[in-house]
A = this chain, B = another copy of it.
Amino acid sequence: MGATQITEARLKEQILTLSCPDQKGLVFRVSEFLFEHGCKILDSAQYGDEQAGRFFMRLHFAAPDSSSGFESAFERLARPLEMEWSLFDAAAKTRVMVLVSQHGHCLNDLLFRASNKQIPIEISAVVSNHRDFEGLATHHGIEFHHLQVTPENKQEDALRRLYKTTGSDLVVLARYMQILSNDLCRDWSGRAINIHHSFLPSFKGAKPYAQAYSRGVKIIGATSHYVTADLDEGPIIEQDVERVDHTLNVEELTRIGGDIESRVLARAVRWHAEHRILINGQKTIVFR
């Protein structure tokens, strides 16, 4: 094994995520493989879902830069174990297409975090059915696309086209007030994150802050989740909350909620970009 001959300068960091039916020896086999390929594990996390009998793992490791054949070799290990796996260059930035309507706090937050490198993403484009945030996008040097969305034409062909032409890896619905078609949800499965402005499953659907006000809850929240055809039912990635009281009206709940939305969405996008999220049926595993 040439592992000891590898110098630091020639290493590159990679992230491997995998899931497969659970069985004895999985950690051993994967760590053996990495050791034999000269890799040093920097961080690993695993989870066995007993009910589903399924095993999930994320490994962050330093690999020799010259490891050609790594992927095909790993596939030989993975296939008999019925493993689904993905390998990512840890230094590569996820390209994110942001969809927004008329509430810009989440967009502003993502643009700022991307620009000061708090989240390892590049905003590939800002797309909107309104023109409110054209200036903001332009100020950040991001291309802006206005889509004339109507009840008859949701412009989904244009969305698909933009996703491709901008080389995007992820779609973020940062308060985008249009419902995507079932087809598009399916095509973007696992690659589209929405922020819902309530603590799901409370207050699904429209005007959650007005619903929260009417019900008199003492805490409000927000939820980021992968988009699925089943509206507001996609796998939850992250939630957060804030305490409220009887003195706050709907506008004030909305203002407080906006802050929660921004940080909940930012965390979800960061974890996705860092390949920390594995989808487990209707739920997510987040290796934080």
Contact = CB atoms under 8 A, between A and B. Distances in A.
A207 interface: no
Contacts of A258: 118
A286 B246 contact: yes
14 contacts: A26-B41, A32-B32, A108-B108, A108-B112, A199-B202, A199-B219, A201-B215, A216-B235, A216-B283, A217-B236, A218-B238, A218-B286, A219-B221, A245-B288
A241 B34 CA distance: 39
A24 B35 contact: yes
Interface of A: 3, 24-28, 31-32, 34-35, 39-48, 50, 104-105, 108, 112, 116, 118, 135, 139, 199-203, 214-219, 221, 235-241, 243, 245-247, 249, 255, 258-259, 263, 280, 282-286, 288
A32 B40 contact: no
B116 A215 contact: no
Contacts of A44: 27, 44, 46
Contact of A48 (B27, B43, B219): B43
Contacts of A108: 108, 112
Given A241-B219, A246-B285, A24 B40 contact: yes
B28 A34 contact: yes
A284 B217 contact: no
B46 A43 contact: yes
A245 B286 contact: yes
Given A25-B40, A26-B41, A199-B219, 8 more contacts: A25-B31, A27-B31, A28-B35, A44-B44, A201-B217, A217-B239, A219-B239, A246-B283
A246 B271 CA distance: 15
Nearest to A139: B139
A40 B218 CA distance: 28
Contacts of A26: 41
A185 to B, nearest CB: 18
Given A216-B235, A217-B236, A240-B219, A246 B47 contact: yes
A263 B263 CA distance: 11
Contacts of A239: 217-219
Nearest to A240: B219
A279 B62 CA distance: 26
Contacts of A35: 24-25, 28
A118 to B, nearest CB: 5
Contact of A236 (B218, B238, B255): B218
